[in-house]
Chains A and B, each alone.
Chain A
Amino acid sequence: MKLPPFAYVRARTVDEALALLGEAGEGAKLLAGGQSLVPVLAYRLFRPTHLVDVDSVTGLDGIAVGNGALEIGALVRHARLERARFDGAHRLLALAASHIGHVPIRARGTLGGSLAHADPAAELPVAALALDARVVARSSRGEREVAVGRFLLGPFTTALEPDEMVVALRVPPAAPGSHAGFREFAVRSGDFALASAGVVVACDEQGAVTSARIVVGGVEPVPRRMSDAEDVLIGELLRADTIAAVAGAASVSCEAVGDRNVDADTRRDLVAALVRAALIDVQAEVAA
């Protein structure tokens, strides 16, 4: 399908992009790597009148580490995240990125684009929520930080104002002794995930869990923490029976949505299997 018509401009800086976005008015949309937006255009699911191309804007492609925290620029591509050497729980970003689409998709797609597009099945929002990260949004009015849990409002819906642009993701320091696991299920490799699970777990020297964040994606309208499952895990050793109980709790407490791909009950089963598998990955790391 050929794309519908739109006016186009390429911005070189964030300030330029924000000015152009404001100038173009309501029908305008930012374009970065285009791996979601271009198919959306092809299907005519959305018909922007103007595209502001931010793909080559300068200064948004860095990964900065300071006092253990990460600030990742919005234009960092999935392929770069996948190869990045993160410590502890931050590895979740690399694990999640490695599951996105295929190699050519990951060569183009961007972190900011994935967050702003807010596909319920997307991997990076799951990782960002599990890592308690904050989205940095900028407009001509200034810059603000929004916790990922408050940023993701629904399928393809975020707290981003029409004149705002995602410029970075801020990830707090990984707890000492923290580990990450990410699993997803798709019918074929590279397909949209029918469900995913991202876990961040910290253990003390005896191996008892001191903190846990368990997030499922592709199951509800937005990724969500499974607090009941986290509560089951806190204070426990990562043993098979505990892991099974945690996975069961996540499966029971998720409000799985059925669609034409898979029914809600199957999604619940997937949640149990994926949370279990992600925790087994963590268990293997702790034991190593």
Chain B
Amino acid sequence: MSEAASGPRWHDPDERVAVEVVLNGLPTTLHPSPRWTLADAVREHGLTGTHLGCEHGVCGACTVLLDGEPVRACLVLAVQAAERRVETVEGLADGDELHPVQAAFREHRALQCGFCTPGFVVLAAWLVEREPEADLERVREVLSSNLCRCTGYGPILAATLAAREGNDA
């Protein structure tokens, strides 16, 4: 396929594309093929905290922040993340100190098998930071995005509400 002098270039299906992102605050180059999702690429990069559950946008286990907004990393191509900020669950804790939402999840036993936890924690941390005034209905609505097959959601809701209150204090 021809290529305009300064125009964008087609990437072949099996080509590895250099994708510059800021990953958890660090300038990083990912090397996905066009068909890799962002979740595939961060996992291949070694950040396996982002879990892939359904891989078609239903379960939310792969939730990450893209330019500060929560997205399903299985519904974003890795190449689409070029020149954007990506934050994964690994970016939440400060060294050994858990993020307040992570601490609240532990406190409230908001996880059992743990598979969905990274997605919930990323989503809840975003909500608590972005909308500290979110009421119960709003917290429920936002959390309804993600699936958990163990907890029955009650502890997850309680942990998020508690983290939000901690934020206020």
Contacts and interface: CB of A to CB of B under 8 A. Distances in A.
Interface string A200-232: 000000000000000000000000000000000
Interface residues of A, number: 40
Interface string A1-45: 111111111111000100110011000000100110011011100
The SS class assigned to the B binding surface is loop
A102 B142 CA distance: 7
A105 B69 CA distance: 10
B80 A55 contact: yes
Interface in A35-62: 35, 38-39, 41-43, 50-51, 53, 55-56
A5 B9 contact: no
A4 to B, nearest CB: 7
A108 interface: yes
Main secondary structure of the interface of A (DSSP, over half): mixed
A187 B60 CA distance: 18
Contact of B79 (A5, A50, A53): A53
Given A10-B8, A11-B8, A102-B60, A38 B77 contact: yes
Which of the listed residues B33, B123, B145 has the most CB atoms from chain A within 10 Å of its own CB?
Answer: B145
Given A1-B55, A108-B76, A7 B13 contact: yes
A16 B7 contact: yes
A79 B75 contact: no
A103 B13 contact: no
Given A7-B10, A42-B56, A107 B35 contact: no
Given A3-B36, A24-B10, A108-B76, 17 more contacts: A1-B56, A2-B35, A7-B11, A20-B8, A34-B77, A38-B37, A38-B75, A39-B75, A53-B79, A55-B80, A79-B69, A103-B123, A104-B63, A104-B69, A108-B69, A108-B71, A190-B145
Interface of A: 1-12, 16, 19-20, 23-24, 31, 34-35, 38-39, 41-43, 50-51, 53, 55-56, 79, 102-105, 107-108, 188-190
